[in-house]
Every structure is written in C-alpha cells, then in structure tokens.
C-alpha cells in the first residue's frame, strides 16, 4: 500500500471521527436541554399539585377525610425520584404561607412533610422492595402498616390537633390519601407490563360510574345500621368489581370515589369519624381486590 493511499485512509478516519464527535456534542446538548425542560416541568407541576392538596388540608384544619397531597407526593417520588422532594417542600411552604402561622412554623411543617414523604419511600424500598405494580396482597398490607407508622409520627407533629379524635381523623385522612392515589399512579408506571392495559370494553366505565355515584347513599344515611349495611354491600361490590375487571379499572374507580368523597364533604370538620373509617375500609378492600385479581 502506497504512502499516498495510507494518508487518504488516515485523513478519512480523522474526518469520520470529527463527524462523530460533532454529532455526539449535538446529541449531548439536545439531551441536556430535554432533561432540563422535563425536570423544570415536573417541578412546577408537582409544586402546583402539592400546593392545591395542602390548601384543602389546611382549610379543613387537618381533618380532611382524604389527603390527596400525601398520595400525590409519595407517588411522585416513587416514579420520578427524590428530585421532586424539592417541589413537595416548596408547594407545602406556599400553602402554609396563606395561614396565620409564623414563618418558622411554615418552614418546620414543610420540612416535616417532605421528610414524611422521603422516609415513607425509603422505608418501603428498603424493607418491602418494589411495590409497583401492587399485585400481591402481602406486599400491600406491609406497605399499609409501614406507611401507617410513619404517618402516625407525622400527625403527632402537626399543630392544631388538640384531642385524640382529631389526631385519629387526620391519621386516617393522610393514610387514605396514600392508599387511594399512590397505587393508582404506580399502576400507570410505564414499566408495568402491557397486559395491564388491554381492557377494550367500556362496560367497566359504566359500572365504575354507577359505583361512584351510588356512594351518595352515604349522605342519606351517615350513621346507624343503614350505614353499616351499606358499607358491607359496597365491600362485596368492590371485591367483585376488582376480581372481574382487574387492577387499572379498579384503581380509576377508587380515585373517583375519593374525589366524590371530597366534593361532598366541604366542611370536613363535620365528617363523622364513623364515615371516615368506613371510607378507609372501602378503599383498603378495593385495593386488596386489585391485589388478588388476575390481569388478563
């Protein structure tokens, strides 16, 4: 091979490497811009959701029957990592700024809520393992017990809860928010197998709407034997619904139930403890019916 031919090969190789390096720099810059844009969007959306959820909790004096902020926050850090802890802190702080609490209370309570979400995720991953999708009732029960203990510590640090009944209501509300929202978000994790999403029938939507609206009967019979009979009836219905339609439809139904509860309890302080307990039992049973259901 002549020297001239060797030089041509050398120059061609150098030229190709330059093109590769140029493309690499271009792709790297594009990836960084995309990553930064996505993170900024996640931060603002997370902050907005936490702010709205905390606003509802604060307006009800920590006695909301369902704390959606807790469920949204825990699901967010499960799916997108600890980066969203910052949006949880900022969203909580902005909500507390609309209250008469002094600034140091705003900072402390925002920090406590952020730590509550962080420790719930950390302990769940360390002591239980992967919980998405929730397809095992044993894992789900461990998750409830673990988060319930962390929630009890968080509730004990909240201001403005003078008696044990209020603390129990707040504890049930925060735990119910996680039970309702977190499994729903985790079941839509993009890494969930496609078999969870092959429901093409619209029958589950119709039945889901009927189940959600039928919970309005609780407003007619908030206490007494009628409420107990109604709750037992709904327990059976939710179990059958979860067994027939599987995880995703049942998660959507549970979220609709939680929104229905909130929309019909504008003054959460007047929500009877019995009603909150019944809501909690219904949601727990609904998730358990998901865990034992076999997705097609």
Give residue-wise pLDDT tens across range 208-217.
Answer: 888 888 877 7
Q: Which among 197, 178, 172, 195 is positioned nearest to 78, based on CA atoms?
A: 178
Q: Which among 64, 65, 69 is positioned nearest to 178, based on CA atoms?
A: 69
Domain residue ranges of the chain, discontinuous segments joined by +: 3-292
Calculate the dihedral angle through the C-alpha atoms of 275, 277, 283, 288, rounding to the nearest 10 degrees: -150
CA 146-152-158 angle, to 5 degrees, is 140
Measured CA to CA, the distance from residue 192 to residue 148 in angstroms comes to 26
Model confidence pLDDT, tens digit, residues 45-72: 889 988 988 888 888 788 777 788 888 8
Q: Which residues contact 65 (CB under 8 A, 6 or more apart)?
A: 169, 172, 173, 176, 261, 262, 265, 268, 271, 275, 276, 279
Percent of the chain with pLDDT over 70: 73
Measured CA to CA, the distance from residue 2 to residue 118 in angstroms comes to 67
Across the range 117-133, mean pLDDT stands at 83
Between 253 and 258, residue with greater pLDDT: 253
Q: Is the pLDDT of residue 266 over 50?
A: no
Which of 75-89, 112-126, 254-268 shows the lowest per-residue confidence on average (mean pLDDT)?
254-268
Say if residues 285 and 239 touch (Cβ distance below 8 Å).
yes
Binning pLDDT at 50, 70 and 90, where does residue 293 land?
low
Measured CA to CA, the distance from residue 101 to residue 240 in angstroms comes to 47
pLDDT of residue 59: 81
Max mean pLDDT range (15-24, 129-138, 140-149, 193-202)? 140-149
Measured CA to CA, the distance from residue 10 to residue 5 in angstroms comes to 9
Give 192's DSSP letter: S
Q: Is the pLDDT of residue 75 over 60?
A: yes
pLDDT of residue 152: 92
Measured CA to CA, the distance from residue 190 to residue 213 in angstroms comes to 30
Q: Is the pLDDT of residue 270 over 60?
A: no
The size of the chain, in residues, is 296
Chain centroid, CA 83 distance in Å: 16
Alpha carbon distances (Å) from 133 to 20, 144, 200, 283:
41, 15, 20, 17
Between 136 and 121, residue with greater pLDDT: 121
Binning pLDDT at 50, 70 and 90, where does residue 261 land?
low
Chain centroid, CA 257 distance in Å: 15
Say if residues 117 and 77 touch (Cβ distance below 8 Å).
yes
Q: Is the pLDDT of residue 22 over 90?
A: no
Model confidence pLDDT, tens digit, residues 175-189: 888 887 787 777 666
Cα torsion angle, 276, 279, 285, 290, sign:
negative
Determine how many CB atoms are found less than 10 A away from the CB of residue 58.
19
Binning pLDDT at 50, 70 and 90, where does residue 256 land?
confident
């Amino acid at each position: 091979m002549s020297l001239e031919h060797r030089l041509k090969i050398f120059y061609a190789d150098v030229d190709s490497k330059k093109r590769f390096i140029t493309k690499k720099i271009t792709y790297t810059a594009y990836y960084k811009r995309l990553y930064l844009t996505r993170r900024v969007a996640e931060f603002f959306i997370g902050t907005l959701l936490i702010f709205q959820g905390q606003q509802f909790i604060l307006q009800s004096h920590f006695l909301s029957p369902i704390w959606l902020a807790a469920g949204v926050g825990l699901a967010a850090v499960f799916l997108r990592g600890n980066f969203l802890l910052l949006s949880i802190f900022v969203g909580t702080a902005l909500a507390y700024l609309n209250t008469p609490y002094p600034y140091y209370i705003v900072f402390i309570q925002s920090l406590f809520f952020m730590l509550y979400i962080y420790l719930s995720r950390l302990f769940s991953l360390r002591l239980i393992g992967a919980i998405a999708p929730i397809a095992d009732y044993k894992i789900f029960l461990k998750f409830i017990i673990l988060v319930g203990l962390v929630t009890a510590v968080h509730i004990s640090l909240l201001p403005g809860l003078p008696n044990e009944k209020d603390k129990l209501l707040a504890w049930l509300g925060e735990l119910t928010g996680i039970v309702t929202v977190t499994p729903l978000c985790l079941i839509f994790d993009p890494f969930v197998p496609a078999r969870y999403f092959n429901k093409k029938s619209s029958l589950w939507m119709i039945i889901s709407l009927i189940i959600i609206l039928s919970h309005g009967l609780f407003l007619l019979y908030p206490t007494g034997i009628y409420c107990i009979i109604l709750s037992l009836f709904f327990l059976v219905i939710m179990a059958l619904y979860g067994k027939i339609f599987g995880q995703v439809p049942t998660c959507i139904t549970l979220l609709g139930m939680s929104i229905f509860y909130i929309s019909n309890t504008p003054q959460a302080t007047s929500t009877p403890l019995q009603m909150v307990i019944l809501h909690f039992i219904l949601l727990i049973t609904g998730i358990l019916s998901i865990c034992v259901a076999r997705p097609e």
